[in-house]
Amino acid sequence: MTPLAALGWRPELAARLPAGTVPARVARVDRSRLAVLTEDGERRVHPGAGLYADPELGGPAVGDWVALRDELAVAVLPRRSAFTRTVAGRTSAAQVVAANLDVVLVVDALSGPSRLRRVERYLAVAWSSGATPVVVLTKADLCDDVGAAVAEVAEDALGVDVLAVSAVTGEGLDAVRAVLAPGCTAAMVGPSGVGKTSLANALAGRELAATREIREDGRGRHTTTARELHLLPGGALLVDTPGMRELALYDDADGVAAAFSDVTALADGCRFRDCAHRTEPGCAVAAAIDDGRLDPARFAGWRKLQAEAHRQLLRVDARARAEEHARVRALHRSRRDQPIRPR
């Protein structure tokens, strides 16, 4: 038997279990079945229709705790954290990638093109999840100057550990294992081909999923096709996720502020509260760019993610849309009422 605590169970969830049910952790979600982990081992169960009744919940996700009544999952227990993105395509719906996480491993490769803007985007969503983000840079064996590459990312990833690893040589694996304490649940997120599956296999000490040869350009090939929760030898739980071609922000304004805490702090020092950080007098952001304290590319990344988070908020929040319409009307009214000065 596996104690529930080893699967990440928290005692406070016991009060939320419906009468006559037992808890189980969702390890994989298929169309008509859930693979779940229980004290007695892995089981395949049917999801009840009620699991999809709440649009905010979006149905069970990998990492969720569900209540089982025989072979039926009848309820999803409250989540304490969730890595969430907007569903790819023209939609405003949320997709929970993984739930009840303690750590989000933002994985990118030390081979290939510059990765800073991509890591910033993943960190914004990771901070919003409620879990602790850690950047893991794979394929250290293919990088000529690992120290310089790590330092470049660490300069942007404020307050976040940045670890370099190689699944081939084993370099850095112990540092990653140190982050994954017994009972801790971590999810690996990142684009396709950065080595998430190879890293998962190396951490597990066995093949959790097959890998494929790298391409001629040095990038890996997409291998993981579904999110799945695995129990690692050290007692941690790891969610391996497919590569994401598109990571669209959902409700991540706070995450953007956390990922760009340096830019946010500068913006708070501007003379005007509604400073657009262009040509306004007393703009602390522009001053920092001019004297070299702030990289213009990082500022552009912040503006891009900030605008994306605001657009998504307007799509999903009726109150925010009403406030934005009122603000725009007031702005037009103030401009219309200004007296026309003769030339």
If we measure between CA atoms, which residue out of 114, 148, 119 comes closest to residue 133? 119
Res. 55 pLDDT band, cuts 50 70 90: confident
Distance CA 210, CA 89 (A): 29
Cβ neighbours for 203, distance < 8 A, ≥ 6 positions apart: 173, 176, 177, 180, 232, 238
Surface-to-core class of residue 173, CB atoms within 10 Å of its CB (0-12 exposed, 13-18 middle, 19+ buried): middle
Helix (H, G, I), strand (E, B) or coil at 136: strand
Per-residue pLDDT tens digits for 173-215: 999 999 999 999 999 999 888 999 999 999 998 887 655 454 4
Per-residue pLDDT tens digits for 135-180: 999 999 999 999 999 999 999 999 999 999 999 999 999 999 999 9
Helix (H, G, I), strand (E, B) or coil at 14: helix
Sign of the alpha-carbon torsion through 250, 254, 258, 263: positive
> Please, are residues 85 and 248 in contact by the beta-carbon 8 Å criterion?
yes
Determine the pLDDT at residue 320: 44
Res. 341 pLDDT band, cuts 50 70 90: low
> Please, are residues 46 and 32 in contact by the beta-carbon 8 Å criterion?
yes
> Please, are residues 243 and 194 in contact by the beta-carbon 8 Å criterion?
yes
Res. 331 pLDDT band, cuts 50 70 90: very low
pLDDT at 64 over 50: yes
Q: What is the pTM of this model?
A: 0.84
Token duo for residue 215: 């391409």
Distance CA 90, CA 15 (A): 39
Which residue type does 140 have? A
Residue-by-residue DSSP string for 173-217: HHHHHHHS-TT-EEEEE--TTSSHHHHHHHHHTS-SS------TT
Question: Dihedral, CA atoms, 185, 186, 192, 194, nearest 10 degrees?
Answer: -140
